[in-house]
Amino acid sequence: MTSHLHLEIPKPSPDEENFFFEMGPIRPPSEGSDHSLLLRTTRNCAWNRCEFCGTYRGEKFSLRPVAEIKKDIDVARALYEELQTLAAREWSRDVNSRTVAALWAGNPGRYGENAGNLTIKRQNLHNVANWINSGAGTVFLQDADALIMRTGDLLEVINYLRGVFPTVQRVTAYARSQSCYRKSLGELTELRQAGLLRLHVGLESGCDEVLKLMKKGVSAWKQVEGGQKVVAAGISLCEYLMPGLGGKEFSARHALDSAAVLNAINPAFIRLRTLALRARSPLLAQSREGLFTEMPEDEVVAEIALLVSNLSCDSYLVSDQMSNLLYGVEGQLPGDQEKILQVIDAYLKKPEMERLAFRLTLRRRSFLAVYGSFPGPLEEKVALAWEAVRGSAPDARERVDAAIAALKEGFV
């Protein structure tokens, strides 16, 4: 409430320069709004060859030593205690922006202009503050594949984490299908008993031709075996599917084979992540060279309908990411299957100009939500597309497709 808070901050760490914990670049939307504490157990991606992904291009993979991860947990705990101590001295007792600002201003050695690592330190503070406000119950292990760690090391990290933070009810992580396949059912069960309650896995496709073209480094049958073991261990499994990944050539096979794999695994969640040719991804370069034919968005929507109509698993289907066009594609299978298909059918039956306007509006809004504004050339592309749609111009579809393709390069 007042500046007296700045005078009563707990004693700082003796090593202020390195008083931060590492955080990776991405996490699932379901772990978003900082409901989860983000804890980095590995750096980058051990595989890093998928044609559609540019997230870790040029970055070196490494396993973080357990002692180093424990140190990060200790730093998170110190921030947790400092923020709560300050909040307890306010009338509201809430950890809010004033609490964060007070901690920042009261520790010039750690956060002053001459201190280092200020960006990550600021991210740490906001992550911990928001995590406290969400109940401090969930921790997400970064980066691309925490399950690649030796089981003993991962168990040590989870057990230490839950000892330091008794409030933690659930630990979650990204994992590759290959890592799920390599772990034994016994190992996965041990991890489940320790508190690893959910895994997010990038299935992307259940079609072997598509998996090979995209250099996923795993076959459909390994995806099934790995996924079934995760489910058998009692771990909630989120499988991520990428509509459009087969391009025009493999669209139907991609949908049908993926449905078959998902039916065999029966994951708790199926999350759609429609293909977006992002900057730094090799697939974007291939598309520009004519080596990959991207599907028009309306055809991708039809592909999703084919997928959904062939799903017979007891999974919750979610469309919760900015690359997806129809957020209404959501529900509990198999009961909500017809409702989901009706949402798709209603969109496809709209007049073309109405569909174009819908697509452009959604993609524009998604881009601005992340970046706040358009760079000049992109703004011009979007404006020309809008002009074409409003005038029902013969080239409206081409202009909208070009604008959306440019917008998608910046999607996250």
Residue 412 confidence (pLDDT): 58
- pTM as predicted: 0.90
pLDDT at site 15: 73
**pLDDT value of residue 62:** 95
pLDDT confidence of 167, banded at 50, 70, 90? Answer: very high
Provide, rounded to the nearest whole percent, the portion of the chain with pLDDT above 70: 95
**Residue 19: Cβ-neighbour burial (10 angstroms; 0-12, 13-18, 19+):** buried
Residue 13's pLDDT band (boundaries 50, 70, 90)? low
DSSP string, 342-378: HHHHHHHTS-HHHHHHHHHHHHHHHHHHHHSS--HHH
Mean pLDDT for 6-25 is 68
| pLDDT score recorded for residue 31 | 79
What pLDDT digit, counting tens, does each position of 90-108 carry?
766 788 888 999 999 989 9
Most confident stretch, 56-65, 90-99, 115-124, 299-308: 299-308
Higher pLDDT residue, 159 or 18? 159
Predicted local distance difference test score (pLDDT) of residue 33: 58
CA angle, residues 235, 41, 237, in degrees to nearest 5? 20
Q: Dihedral through CA 366, CA 411, CA 22, CA 318, nearest 10? A: 70
> Mind listing the pLDDT tens digit for each residue in 100-129?
999 999 899 899 888 889 999 999 999 999
- pLDDT of res. 328: 87
Q: What is the pLDDT of residue 281?
A: 85
Q: What is the DSSP string of 311-328?
A: --S--EEE--STT-S-TT
With 70 as the cut, is the pLDDT of residue 351 above it?
yes
H/E element, 309? helix 297-309
Question: Which pLDDT tens digit goes with each residue over 195-228?
Answer: 999 999 999 999 999 999 999 999 999 999 999 9
The residue-averaged pLDDT of 240-256 equals 96
Look over the chain and give the mean of its residue pLDDT values, rounded to a whole number. Answer: 90
Residue 32 above 60 pLDDT?
A: yes
Distance (Å, whole) CA 216 – CA 192? 26
What mean pLDDT do residues 322-350 have? 94
Q: What is the pLDDT of residues 312-333, one digit of tens each?
A: 999 999 998 888 988 889 999 9
pLDDT in the model for residue 21:
95
Residue 4 has pLDDT above 60, yes or no: no
Residue type, 210: V
Q: How confident is the model at residue 12 (pLDDT cuts 50, 70, 90)?
A: very low
* Residue 65: DSSP 8-state: P
